Amino acid sequence: MLRRDSGLSVILAIQASIMFVVAPLAATGLLGPGVSEVFRFGLAAAAVLMITRSRPIIAMIVTAFALSLILTVSLRSGLGAEAVYLGQIVFTLTFDTAVSIAVARVAFGPGRVSIHRIMGGVILYLSVGLIFANLYRAMALLLHPSFGGLPGSKHAALSEMLYFSLSTLTTTGFGDITPIHPFVRSLANLESVIGQLYPATLLARLVTLHTAAEAQG
């Protein structure tokens, strides 16, 4: 149990590094294209080795990571077909979802609510931003026009969509990237609702249970 709980803090550190350091630096060209995959491998390893024993979830994480990596390498090799790009998004989305399920099973599972489990709740909040970012990438590929304020290419960069996703999740709404297609607008509305309700309900519940457990000694 201690190993699984501490694994949540490890995953949070890796995930935050990917979202707030690696992705923007890769977008500016200051980091090589393979650095993101190295961090995602660390994320997969932490999830498999530290927080989950479920064979279906482990298989889901490993398979999705391997296939997303293969398709990413294919794209960088010049195989830029839309089907390959969409497949890479789908398997990346599957990987993030599988890691989120593994985290949720620990964070909201039975047992004493430690500070690590609160970190697990934060992971799930950030994972919502990652999952929606990849959904927006798929929408930019499939629906036209989908966003205003983006370059004309249908291959929206993860850093751009992650920026829009986190702005929507936190209801910051800078307005430089805007949803145009009705379905994309609906998706953005759903994310903003989740962004308002999650911290006030599930995350607050974890903090309350942790405080009660600390008070009881």
Question: What are 119's two structure tokens?
Answer: 């970190």
- pLDDT at residue number 4: 84
- Segments in 143-181 forming alpha helices (H): 158-169
* pLDDT band at 182; cut points 50, 70, 90: very high
- pLDDT at residue number 185: 96
Where in the sequence is the domain holding 69, given as residue range(s)?
2-215
Question: What are 166's two structure tokens?
Answer: 């986190």
Q: Above 90 in pLDDT, residue 10?
A: yes
- Segments in 47-180 forming alpha helices (H): 55-76, 82-107, 115-142, 158-169
Q: Above 90 in pLDDT, residue 40?
A: yes
The mean pLDDT value for 76-90 works out to: 84
> With the C-alpha atoms ordered 97, 199, 4, 129, is the resulting torsion angle positive or negative?
positive
Looking at the structure of the chain, the number of domains it has is: 1
Structural contact between residues 121 and 107, judged by C-beta atoms closer than 8 angstroms: yes
* pLDDT band at 79; cut points 50, 70, 90: low
| Region of poorest pLDDT, from 57-61, 181-185, 197-201 | 197-201
- pLDDT at residue number 93: 96
- pLDDT at residue number 80: 64
* Single-letter residue type at 28: T
- pLDDT at residue number 119: 93
What is the CA 107 to chain-centroid distance, rounded?
A: 16
Q: Above 90 in pLDDT, residue 95?
A: yes
Q: List the one residue out of 106, 126, 125 whose CA is nearest residue 116.
A: 106
* Single-letter residue type at 48: V
* pLDDT band at 174; cut points 50, 70, 90: confident
pLDDT in tens, 137-151: 999 999 988 999 887
* Percent of the chain whose pLDDT exceeds 90: 62
The mean pLDDT value for 173-194 works out to: 94
- Domain with residue 9: its CATH number is 1.10.287.70
- pLDDT at residue number 55: 94
Q: List the one residue out of 208, 187, 90 whose CA is nearest residue 129.
A: 187
Structural contact between residues 152 and 42, judged by C-beta atoms closer than 8 angstroms: no
Q: List the one residue out of 91, 99, 98 whose CA is nearest residue 137.
A: 91
**Residue-averaged pLDDT of the chain:** 90
- pLDDT at residue number 1: 67
Angle at 189 between CA 187 and CA 195, to 5 degrees: 105
